[in-house]
Amino acid sequence: MKAARWYNARDIRVEEVEEPKVEKGKVKIKVEWAGICGSDLHEYAAGPIFVPVKAPHPISKDIAPIIMGHEFCGRVVEVGEGVTKVKVGDPVVIEPILRCGTCPACKKGKYNLCENLGFHGLSGGGGGFSEYTVVDEYMVHKMPEGLSFEQGALVEPAAVALHAVRLSKIKPGDKAAVFGTGPIGLLVIEALKAAGAAEIYAVEVSEERLQKAKELGATATINPKEEDPVQKLIELTDGGVDVAFEVTGVPAVLQQAIDSTTIEGETVIVSIWEKEAGIQPNNLVLKERTVKGIIAYRDIFPAVMELMKRGYFQAEKLVTKRIQLDDIVTEGFETLMKEKDQVKILVKPE
């Protein structure tokens, strides 16, 4: 079968690989659609970040070259011994978290905080940029009636956004700011809408992305190239937002996000960081503000699919391009590097 494998930064190859075999407790999926994620793009542009290169990943036992693609859905084509959650023919979405099941976090059920956290499609063991893949039974979620496969490929990134909003202190009627409106930032805006936020401010340097933010529910947009986002937010909200979401990973933006919150405001960090970001602690202390981080998601895929049935996170608005697996480098990764108006590119692996 065909699959896209990561060999090195700027070296992803579509090639023939052996079709994976189903084993006890596992499920074989024929992939329908797989989305290209910002973290895939990081691996392509400047990896390895999550891809295991020096030693095999402790859970997948796999090492580069690895098959990529962790945002995907498909149909069950075979189930291993003991599998009861799904049957052949079921449409399923994959929750790609690799977890050890034995560390303190896993024992508490907080599997996204696993000591050995990995992702199917980033940490080895197969992925969605291939015709077939085999996953553990716990990773599959049956898709509800009426949800398209295109929609299914968006569940994983939408889960990140919904988890961030659910773990924040946002309440219906509150004011929020989203710093950075790439795909995850846009999904955070939609999750805030679902949570009943009354005012949602999008802060972003790309005008194309601000436009998209407006379409998806931002009540106002601010371009830091044109005005000071902190000053503007304080002015617009009469003292600051209740919750700011940091979705850029740019060090200077973290302090801006904090400064844009009101007294006792909260800043939620959704980004993964390449470098340190300095802050002045007094900006927290003197206003009793808090900062919290979130990673991935847990126990939330069914809720995301319910919201999709109610019109949130719609593929028609978020998918900007559909491509074949053979073209994933030129039409996928390279396009995402160049075109800021792209949101989600979906890949068909056959």
Question: CB of 46: closest distance to Zn ion in angstroms?
Answer: 16
Query: Is 236 an interacting residue with respect to Zn ion (CB under 5 A)?
Result: no
User: Which of residues 105 and 325 has its CB atom nearest to Zn ion in the complex?
Assistant: 105
The residue range among 101-109, 134-142, 198-206, 287-295 that interacts with Zn ion, by the rule CB under 5 A, is 101-109
Sign, CA dihedral 158-110-20-329, equals: positive
Rounded Cα gap, residues 34 and 267, in angstroms: 31
User: Which of residues 9 and 279 has its CB atom nearest to Zn ion in the complex?
Assistant: 9
User: Which of residues 68 and 114 has its CB atom nearest to Zn ion in the complex?
Assistant: 114
User: Which of residues 99 and 289 has its CB atom nearest to Zn ion in the complex?
Assistant: 99
Beta bridge pairs of residue 178: 202, 245
Burial 301-324 (b: 16+ CB within 10 A, else e): bebbbebbeeebbebeebbbbebe
User: Which of residues 65 and 128 has its CB atom nearest to Zn ion in the complex?
Assistant: 128
Query: Is 100 an interacting residue with respect to Zn ion (CB under 5 A)?
Result: yes
User: CA 193, 197, 200 angle in degrees (round to 5)?
Assistant: 80
Q: Which of residues 103-162 bind Zn ion (CB under 5 A)?
A: 103, 106, 114
| Residue whose pair of structure tokens reads 């991935």 in the numeric block | 296
Query: Is 176 an interacting residue with respect to Zn ion (CB under 5 A)?
Result: no
In the shown chain, the binding pattern of residues 29 to 58 toward Zn ion, with x for contact by CB under 5 A and - for none, equals --------x---------------------
The two beta strands, 175-179 and 241-246, are parallel
Question: CB of 81: closest distance to Zn ion in angstroms?
Answer: 24
| Residue whose pair of structure tokens reads 């084993």 in the numeric block | 23
**Cβ proximity of 184 and 269 under 8 Å:** no
For 161, 191, 302, the CA distances from 311, given in Å and listed in that order, are 16, 11, 15
Question: CB of 344: closest distance to Zn ion in angstroms?
Answer: 10
Question: CB of 294: closest distance to Zn ion in angstroms?
Answer: 14
Site residues (vs Zn ion, CB under 5 A):
37, 99-100, 103, 106, 114
